[in-house]
Amino acid sequence: PLPLPLPAPQVPSSSSSSAPVRSGPPQLALRSPPLVAQGPFAGLTLGLLGWAPEDDVTKEMVRKICENGGTTVYGSAESVLEAQVNTCICQGYSTPDVGQKVLANFATIKWVDACVAEGICHSITNFLHFAPGPGPLPLQDMANCLVRITALGASDNRKRTRLQELVEVLGAKE
């Protein structure tokens, strides 16, 4: 990964007191370029918001995205958001509280996995579990629920897979 220096903090002049002041050194985001020119994430920059750079899970996600044509940016939440990524990948199934208006989309690990498995960049709105929910998931109250998926033919394997993933995200058993 190559460090991506972000703009230095701007200190307002004494005549301008409405601009926020950031203290401390500027944060760095780590940027990993794509390893191939084509793939489901070609031309996209995906942010790993809140992922620890030294974690094996982070390294595996960076590898998966870069091997499929995407660029990753990861580090502090502030540095990732300032890097103007296309989509932020959440570690869990809930949208992180970033305390500011964010222009990027949020997606789950399930979205990344489905895009890689099928070799296409799915719309995040295609399936409910591709976008993180507004609250904590999985739902504890679903732990004792059993869900059976029926009435899908052999040609509906993709739908079955996505429904199984949704059951998992909700916390139920299949």
Q: Supply the DSSP string of 19-35, one letter for each residue.
A: S----SSPPEEEEE--S
Q: Encoding tokens for residue 16?
A: 């301008």
Angle between helix 109-118 and helix 157-170 axes, rounded to 10 deg: 160
pTM for the complete prediction?
0.67
pLDDT tens over the chain, length 174 residues = 554 443 322 222 333 333 333 444 445 788 999 999 999 999 999 999 878 888 899 999 999 999 999 999 998 878 888 888 999 998 877 777 666 655 568 899 989 999 999 999 999 987 777 888 776 667 788 788 888 888 788 788 878 887 887 788 777 887
Beta strands in the chain (DSSP E): 2-5, 28-32, 45-49, 71-75, 87-90, 105-108
